[in-house]
Amino acid sequence: MKYIQWFRLCLFFGLAACHSEMEEEKLRLEIDFEQHWNNSPITPTTLNAYSFENAAGELLSIERLRYLISDLSLGLKDGSQVILKAYHLIDIKSAESLRLSLETYVPLADIQEVSFVFGLNRLANQDGVYPDLNAAVWNVPQALGGGYHFMQLDGKFKAQPTAEAIAYNFHAIQAVDKTAGTALVFEDTFFKVSQQISPQTADQDLTISMNLAEWFVNPHLWYLEKDNSMLMPNFEAQQRMADNGKSVFSIVVKKN
């Protein structure tokens, strides 16, 4: 009887120790999504005003900003990936979409980076398969191959301060070439953004930051006066947008 009691006692403390160890390896991530124009914050209160000037000297307003990221992941030292969220749609008008709270069980010492993909890779970008994105009217027309948008940035611009305002629709999708007869030719325009990370505690705060000014300058100087609408079927424009996008995002690790 004493042996059984001793065994139960050991089992109890053993399970408690295992539970404590798991708690120590439970990583909690708080991720904020912030948007700015060369460090000037973009929030719902800054919409619809001609508050921004691109590198081409055009004044513009922002009326809508939505964009999609996918494969939000932790990269481990053994080369494996831990997917934290398959995809996430950010809408500047939705406070709920601007913050993610995620949890995973990963030994902190094994983590070396955090990363995400802008848009969807070709395998994931299948038409009509995500009910929530369908409900958000995030689909790309079948005539352009279907699938989903990567970004919708809309507003108005003025080529000169006194010029008439013109609407622009800066929409990013998978590039599609419709000139090769009846067959559509696709080119990938998604890209990966990553940041080295070495969490020291089980609670880690990150900020994913988008500098919208970079969409219009690096490496291609963008003139909205020339390219302001009908960009989705414009194969070459989508290529330039993808090039410029690679300098738009940054991941900031907050010190706890």
DSSP-assigned letters across all residues of 167-205: EEEEEE--EEE--STTS-EEE---EEEEEE---SSSEEE
Q: Is 11 a member of any domain?
A: no
Cα distances (angstroms) measured from residue 77 to each of 70, 104, 125: 21, 16, 28
Q: Locate tokens 């219009």: which residue?
A: 216
Residue range of the domain that includes 231? 26-254
> What is residue 182's predicted lDDT score, i.e. its pLDDT?
72
Is 153 contained in some domain? yes
In a domain, 53, yes or no: yes
Question: Does pTM top 0.75 for this prediction?
Answer: yes
pLDDT digit string (tens) for the chain, length 256 residues: 444 444 344 444 444 444 444 444 789 999 999 999 999 999 999 999 999 999 999 999 999 999 999 999 999 999 999 999 999 999 999 999 999 999 999 999 999 999 999 999 999 999 999 999 999 999 999 999 999 999 999 999 999 888 999 999 999 999 999 886 678 999 999 999 999 999 888 999 999 999 999 999 999 999 999 999 999 999 999 999 999 999 999 999 986 6
> Is the residue at 1 inside a domain?
no
Residue 152 in domain? yes
Between the CA of residue 70 and those of 38, 48, 122, 149, 180, what are the distances in Å?
25, 28, 12, 12, 30
C-alpha angle 110-116-118 in degrees, rounded to nearest 5: 170
Q: Which residues pair with 207 in a beta bridge?
A: 32, 252
Please say whether the beta carbons of 231 and 171 come within 8 A: yes
Domain total of the chain:
1
Note whether residue 93 is domain-resident: yes
Whether 9 is in a domain gets the answer no
Question: Which residues partner with 154 through β-bridges?
Answer: 64, 169
| Structural domain contains residue 62 | yes
**What is the pLDDT at residue 109?**
93
